[in-house]
Amino acid sequence: MPRLSRTQLANTLRFAIARALPSEADAIWTEIAPVFARYPKDQRTPAPGDLKGGYSRMDQSIQQSQVDVMYDLGTAVARELTGSDARRNALLGSCASDAQTANDRTCLETFIRGWGSRALRYPLPAAEVTAFADIAGATPVDRAAVADVITALLNSPWFLYRVEHGTNASQSVSPLSAFELASRLSYQFWQVPPDDELWAAAVNGSLLTESGFATQLDRMLKSPQLQGSLNEFVNEWLRLEELPSLVALRNDPVYQAFVGAEMPTDAVRTAMFEDVQRSAWQTVVSGGSVSDFLNDRRSYTGDPFLAALYGVPVWSGSGPAPTMPSKNRTGLLTRAALLATGTASTRPIHKGYLVRNALLCQQVGAPPPNAADMAPAPTATMTTRQVVTQLTSGGSCGGCHNATINPPGFVLEGFDALGRERDVERLFDPKGLVTGTPSVDTEAEMRVYDAERRVVSSTAELTKILDDSQLFESCVARNYFRFAQARVESSERDGCLLSEMEAAARSGAPMAEMLKTLAQHPTFKQRSFQ
């Protein structure tokens, strides 16, 4: 019984409102948005042993504040949907406003059976329709009474959770019903309730057939609605939100001198995120592979600042995206979202950990408790690499940093803390005056597997090592599994599925095949309490 994520809940509320009053849906959402803003944000839950990362879908906790806000949301939506006789009549039809009262109960039950079933995502049986209608008492079409019914529907466990009983509740593993399968598909790939076509496939039973399921799955993976879910996956997998504001230090003399004449805005920060997300989306819709995503050198930004940083024209959003001209812009590793830091320091430790943990799925030992107190930054006389090496090469730190964390971060020193390409590092005194411009050293001994050591000096070589190892492809599959299933994998329970997803990612097949593999596996169509 997975709880809807905050994103899924927002989408589900908007779906319910739009089905009730489509022409007024946007206006009603604007009215209730302040109430929804109080709903607690899901906390990203990392896998055991990971120091960062994780997915908000994995937060399945329930707090009193969530219950309270959901009740307020239910009453707010109900109040809006019944805010006038005209709105009430649009919900229930002419039977709510005619001179007869004998048909009022039937009028309300018809609304519950129709709108309520779609909001709760399963056909309401007669007994439940009766139970909800009874809430209205003796005045079935009175606006306040109808509002009470809507409030109850929107606070049902069936609305807040994806309830899955399966078709044989006596078994620990049971096939999903058609409606449960429809919801699993729609929330997995679109983060919304089933649309009309998917609902119809559940109603007529075709969704439970092999061909019917394949038809719906293909349709969903080709739909623009997939992009929102893919964006959330990419954002959380690559930890894009860890990039601080690009203007927080705008009054700092060193940051001012580092940035130069034009200060980036937080709109640029957003554009950096979108650039990565659109790369993933374009890879999927164009039939590209996971490897193609890693190596994609096209720019997908319409932001002038970011486009200038890449040395390309702004992209209109349609047609071929411009290719970054520098041979050192080798794809994912060199996108500004993964390079910028919001400071004048490049943070090679952070980038090295990102490569190891998020891109290769390699766990790294936990830092000492006081590590955050020693954040390395260049000085007026020492480069970032020199400071990091001095701070981390000895004692208990050296084992992890020298061989594992620092090398990929050092290779990426060919780009500054805004993501601009560089050959030298400008050093500043506290007043922002340049004190030196030493050459940047990007050479490092890189190990992907413990027994394999290679000297790497460019992002092209680093990207190739990641790609050739195929650990990147396997890691994407593993992370997508965690995002999709809202849990960490179990080798015993999930080994076969994960192996199939990794094989699809590593085969060079379209990236969409990896997404499809998860849904095609028999376990996707089952409810399990094991």
Are 347 and 354 contacting, i.e. CB atoms less than 8 angstroms apart? no
pLDDT digits (tens, 9 = 90+) for 165-185: 888 877 888 999 999 999 999
pLDDT band per the 50, 70, 90 thresholds, residue 519: very high
Report the number of distinct structural domains present in the chain.
4
pLDDT of residue 364: 86
Claim to verify: residue 430 and residue 482 sit in the same structural domain: no
17 within domain boundaries:
yes
pLDDT of residue 181: 97
For residue 365, is pLDDT > 90? no
Structure tokens, 264: 């980036």
Buried/exposed 320-355: b ≥16 CB within 10 Å, e otherwise: ebbebeeeebbbbbbbbbbbbbbbbbbbbbbbbbbb
**Residues 6 or more apart from 5 whose CB is under 8 A from it?**
42, 56, 57, 59, 191, 486
165 within domain boundaries:
no
pLDDT of residue 315: 97
Claim to verify: residue 464 and residue 477 sit in the same structural domain: no
pLDDT of residue 371: 65
374 within domain boundaries:
yes
pLDDT digits (tens, 9 = 90+) for 464-495: 999 999 999 999 999 999 999 999 998 888 99
Output the DSSP codes for 38-102. TSPPPPPBPPTT-SS--BGGG-----HHHHHHHHHHHHHHHHHHTSSHHHHHHHH-GGGTSS-ST
For residue 28, is pLDDT > 80? yes
Claim to verify: residue 106 and residue 232 sit in the same structural domain: no
Q: What is the dihedral of CA 108, 110, 112, 113, to 10 degrees?
A: 160
**428, 452, 468 — which closes off a domain?**
468
For residue 450, is pLDDT > 90? no
Claim to verify: residue 464 and residue 485 sit in the same structural domain: no
Claim to verify: residue 352 and residue 218 sit in the same structural domain: no
pLDDT of residue 309: 97
1 within domain boundaries:
no
Claim to verify: residue 299 and residue 366 sit in the same structural domain: yes
Lowest mean pLDDT among 164-168, 221-225, 303-307, 378-382: 164-168
Beta-strand ranges (E) seen in 318-456 are 427-428, 434-436, 444-447, 453-456
For residue 14, is pLDDT > 70? yes
pLDDT of residue 370: 67
For residue 401, is pLDDT > 90? no
34 within domain boundaries:
yes
Query: How far are the Cα atoms of 310, 462, 518, 530 from residue 513, in angstroms, in the given order?
Result: 31, 26, 9, 28
For residue 399, is pLDDT > 80? no
Question: Per-residue pLDDT averaged across 373-394, rounded?
Answer: 88
Enter the pTM of the model.
0.93
Claim to verify: residue 480 and residue 494 sit in the same structural domain: yes
Claim to verify: residue 489 and residue 385 sit in the same structural domain: no
Closest-CA residue to 337 (of 303, 367, 314, 360): 303
Claim to verify: residue 369 and residue 355 sit in the same structural domain: yes
Claim to verify: residue 449 and residue 477 sit in the same structural domain: no
pLDDT of residue 172: 80
Closest-CA residue to 284 (of 513, 484, 511, 517): 511
166 within domain boundaries:
no
* Phi, psi (degrees; rounded to nearest 5) at 367: -75, 165
* Whole-number average pLDDT of the chain: 94
pLDDT digits (tens, 9 = 90+) for 451-463: 778 899 999 999 9
pLDDT digits (tens, 9 = 90+) for 138-167: 999 999 999 999 999 999 999 999 998 888
**Which SS3 state, helix, strand or coil, does residue 528 take?**
strand
Question: Per-residue pLDDT averaged across 16-35, rounded?
Answer: 97
297 within domain boundaries:
yes
309 within domain boundaries:
yes
Structural domain of 512: 470-528
pLDDT of residue 127: 97
pLDDT of residue 373: 56
Query: How far are the Cα atoms of 277, 319, 335, 419, 461 from residue 301, in angstroms, in the given order?
Result: 10, 13, 11, 14, 25
